[in-house]
Chains A and B, each alone.
Chain A
Amino acid sequence: MSPETKPSFLINPEGLRIDGRRTDEIRPIELKVGVIKQADGSASIRQGKTYILAAVYGPRELHPRHLTINDRAYLRCVYRMATFSVPDRKRPAPSRREREISMVIANALKPALFLEDYPRAVVDVFIQVIQADGGTRCAAINAASLALADAGIPMKTLVPAVAVGKAEGKLLVDLGDEEDKYGGGDVPMAMLGTTGEITLLQQDGSFAKEELVEAMGMGVTAMKYILELQKEALKRAYAKKVAIEGEDVDEYEDDLETDLGEAEIAGEEDE
């Protein structure tokens, strides 16, 4: 609840950002898979000071029943912020912002899933923001994507996400909290890892059309990098599991490639 103050600059004379990053540099990202024992799948992400957990439950029976969809599973995403995750205490009841973000996250993830494999079921993606320091909806997608994979939900691809934006006339990748608040625009994006198609796109601030197109291009580059981080995190988790079970790690890696490859093909047929 400290009184906040606007920083005197967001880009310093050397062209570096308030936390020392280059304009096209993302924050350090730490991804962990399998962090919640009770969940069918789970992952955590620390992206700068943003800290988020995602848990997946399902496919399982859906309550209340009237939400059931006959020809596929219902993907229910719930994005919630802890009361203490923001400077002022957030009220415990879900805000309209949280409900909107839950919806756009569901839309961002859906095209990556074979929901038609589980008609009438629900796949629950629960996201808890523990500390919010900018880019939470994108970080949430990065983690949720891993949690879905960890839960063994059939996927066409992973879904990386990042927010691009602008401050003091410069286009920036992976906005931090101050850049979001005091900068000139925020463009959260997510894409299908395989095809690069955009599944989340929002914007605020002020951009000329060309400028926004350029920013989205920077976002795609960053998301490709994040996709690699996601794959590595999955491999680490699997390696650990497999090591415990005494099997060969490389085999899994092949399987993953194969699986995602198949997914792609299926995905194209499907779209």
Chain B
Amino acid sequence: MPVYKVNVLIENKPYISDPEGDTILKDLVLKGGYHQVRSIRVAKMLKVEVEAKSVEEAREMVRRMCDELRLYNPMLSICKVE
């Protein structure tokens, strides 16, 4: 069966604060002189290689896996499968 690459992006919901992004912005980027930067948010990507019959099937399976195995916490984060 062919192997597909599927990317999963896990990020905090927009109204949930991101202390790590804030610190990177305040203490590294702005202090480093990059004043054009307005905001930084940190997200996590899982690059998954999966056997499937089609891209659609691969995506659908990865999506199911993320939900079922709690690869992210739906209370906190959103999870996009690309």
Say if A and B assemble together.
Answer: no
